[in-house]
Homo-oligomer: A and B are copies of this chain.
Amino acid sequence: MEQELIERFREIVGAKYAITDQTLITPYLLEERGIFHGRTPLLLRPSSPQEISLIMQLASQTRTPIVPQGGNTGLVGGQQPDERGESVLLSMERLNKIRAINLEGSFVVVEAGVILQDLQKKVDESGRFFPLSLASEGSCQIGGNLSSNAGGTAVLAYGNMRDLCLGLEVVLPDGRLLDDLRFVKKDNSGYDLKNLFIGAEGTLGIITAAVLKIFPKMKAKAIALVGLHSPENALEFLSLAQEYGGGMVTGFELMGNLSFQMALDYKMCEKSPFEQKHEWYVLMNISSLQGNDEAFSVLSIILEKALKRAVIEDAIVAQSLKQQHFFWQLREAISSAQKLAGGSIKHDIAVPLASIPDFIAKAALIVEDVAPGARVVCFGHMGDGNLHYNVTQPIGADTTAFLQLWSKMNHRIHRLVMDYQGAFSAEHGIGQLKREELRSFKSPVALDIMRGIKKTLDPLGIMNPGKVL
């Protein structure tokens, strides 16, 4: 990149926030799974939509590719520049203002660089609740959550980021600012633009701010860890829970016995809270606006009915906030725990609920066929049909050789998922990692429309190139 161009970008954000020193840039180029190794000559850290607007105007004039980045927690390489080193990396971290918390209207206005956990805390302090919750909440940013249409553990009761968003502010690839910040739930004045940018992984424009819904705070929570025999039973149990708990069922996470055991080991628990081992485990949250009595009474009704009908084998109701917290820590520890067991090939899939048992049975055969002896670590947001169906290398196997099976394994598992008309990327997006899968599994008509939209909004192709399409 020519020095003159770097100077022109520098003028927009100020010398301090236009970084060319590679030692300072490096942390922005490292990502969680270590799969992508991008390069960039220039990192920009703008502080406002107006600066981003100027950046995009200059980028358009000079056809400079721009890669926006939030908290850099994405798992598919969407936030990383490619290896050619021609893209400018644009960190959103300085757009970190919560512009408004409106209690009567039940919404907040937040900038893209606000860290999810900071937003959760501020909303909590205001007496309300912002439901989005995921393992990386301490560092991921709202802009990234929107661009990847983040899901997580609260989707069951509150929906994903798309459902939580009322409106957006976006800088378009040509630098124009789209002010589509809406404060009402109902607005049928023209095409829905918001949902184009949500989940587009920064390929259509840069989300700079959003209006997000907030909710009444639950007064109490009752949590049970449940042991059961099969995915079929887990499905029946979910159905029962929703019949008697409805919207009070705010979490329903499935864990295979291996996931559960790995999490116990990782948390250094010498023994399981259960007397016996079970094939499958469910972590269930029941939340109440009324208080403890209601939460525990509804939880009891559900557990009693499930035990009576032999849908579940055993259940432990958390007796303290500490124990509640511990149960969730176990669930959140699975990803980290898995790392200790060697290389893992990951899947982030969804299938219709009724197909989960069948999928789990058939996927196991594929795993054994592609990598005999590999260990299935299956867990996830069962209430949404969303499983992180991960495959850990056989004990003692060569990690590099095992990981070379990644594409093959993915492709076969994803083909199975598509047989059920499921999703081969349920919540992590496409990024760089799943572009081939998108071409293989998305309908040609859908791909064609996507390309048309991309061309309309980003005719020069400078907006996060090489991602999604």
Known pairs A184-B423, A243-B289; A190 contacts B350 (CB<8 A): no
Indicate whether A185 reaches chain B with its CB closer than 8 angstroms: yes
| Total number of A residues with any Cβ neighbor in B under 8 Å | 92
Interface contact A434-B149, CB-CB below 8 Å: no
Interface contact B172-A445, CB-CB below 8 Å: yes
When all copies of this chain in the complex are counted, the total is 2
6 smallest beta-carbon distances between A and B, as pairs: A104-B354, A187-B423, A195-B195, A247-B247, A184-B350, A452-B456
- Could you tell me the distance between the alpha carbons of A199 and B186 in the complex, rounded to whole angstroms? 11
- Could you tell me the distance between the alpha carbons of A94 and B93 in the complex, rounded to whole angstroms? 54
One of A173-181, A267-275, A390-398 contacting the partner: A173-181
**Which chain B positions have C-beta within 8 A of A434?**
189
Interface contact B246-A446, CB-CB below 8 Å: no
Known pairs A195-B192, A446-B180, A456-B453; A384 contacts B185 (CB<8 A): yes
Interface contact B445-A177, CB-CB below 8 Å: yes
Interface contact A245-B179, CB-CB below 8 Å: no
**Which chain B positions have C-beta within 8 A of A190?**
199, 430, 438, 442, 446-447, 450, 468-469
**Which chain B positions have C-beta within 8 A of A425?**
187-189
Indicate whether A67 reaches chain B with its CB closer than 8 angstroms: no
Interface contact A183-B449, CB-CB below 8 Å: no
One of A3-11, A155-163, A222-230, A313-321 contacting the partner: A155-163
Interface contact A350-B424, CB-CB below 8 Å: no
**Which chain B positions have C-beta within 8 A of A469?**
190
Indicate whether A85 reaches chain B with its CB closer than 8 angstroms: no
Query: Most chain-B CB neighbours within 10 Å: which of A160, A235, A434, A449?
Result: A449
Indicate whether A421 reaches chain B with its CB closer than 8 angstroms: yes
- Could you tell me the distance between the alpha carbons of A149 and B447 in the complex, rounded to whole angstroms? 24
Indicate whether A66 reaches chain B with its CB closer than 8 angstroms: no
From B188, B191, B381, give the contact of A426 (CB < 8 A): B188
User: Which residues of A in the span 310-366 have a Cβ within 8 Å of any Cβ on B?
Assistant: 350-355
Interface contact A386-B191, CB-CB below 8 Å: no
